Amino acid sequence: ATIKDRIPGAVSSSVASTQRLQALGIRVFEANEVGTLSVYIDGADEITESLAMVKGGGGALTREKIVSAVADKYVCIADESKLVKVLGRFPLPIEVVPFGLKATQIEIEAAFKACGVSGPMTLRKGKDGHVFVTDGGHWILDAAMGRIPDPKRLADALSPIPGVMEHGLFIGLVQAAILAGPSGIRVVERS
């Protein structure tokens, strides 16, 4: 049996993933066509043993968070190099509305200060050198903090900021991670 025969359909969290699935002959449903999903499978830019993650390196963090919220079970599949003791090695993507960007950045910096983190924020550029635009028409600020000792606190501080569409901190969403490495496969589950 082919992949197409085993998977009746999927909901994709990005235009790029949709194109890959369709190229394999897998039917892709719009998120609006389904109420819930049995399982959502995706990767991570980094993940801790407690299953807190940073996502959004590909720029689809808002859509990924929406799909993860409607899934009964969310499973992360990654190579073990993504496993970290403390989040922050990977720059934190923050999806923002282009309008009022400077004001939004000031509020984000205040949230960083209140949470005891700091680091430069850069506006993400595409391969063509122009501002990267998400599938939702927003921009991304990448915050290189190095360490995020309390990701939940930072997530809670970023979420209510006007102009912030979403942030790449995925806290309490994933139930299991399947990590592959030279010594084999390891499964980490939420307790």
Q: Which DSSP state fits 50?
A: T
Q: Which of 64, 107, 109, 189 is catalytic?
A: 64
Query: Is-catalytic flag, 64?
Result: yes
In the chain, DSSP finds a helix count (H) and a strand count (E) of 5, 13
Share in percent of the chain as helix, strand, coil (round to 5): 25, 30, 45
Burial state string for 38-63 with b = 16 or more CB within 10 A and e = fewer than 16: eebebbbbbbbeebbbbbbbbbbbbb
> Is residue 175 helix, strand or coil?
coil
76 with 174: CB under 8 angstroms?
Answer: yes
Q: How far apart are CA 120 and CA 59, in angstroms?
A: 18
179 with 157: CB under 8 angstroms?
Answer: no
H-helix or E-strand spanning residue 103: helix 101-114
Residues with a known catalytic role: 64
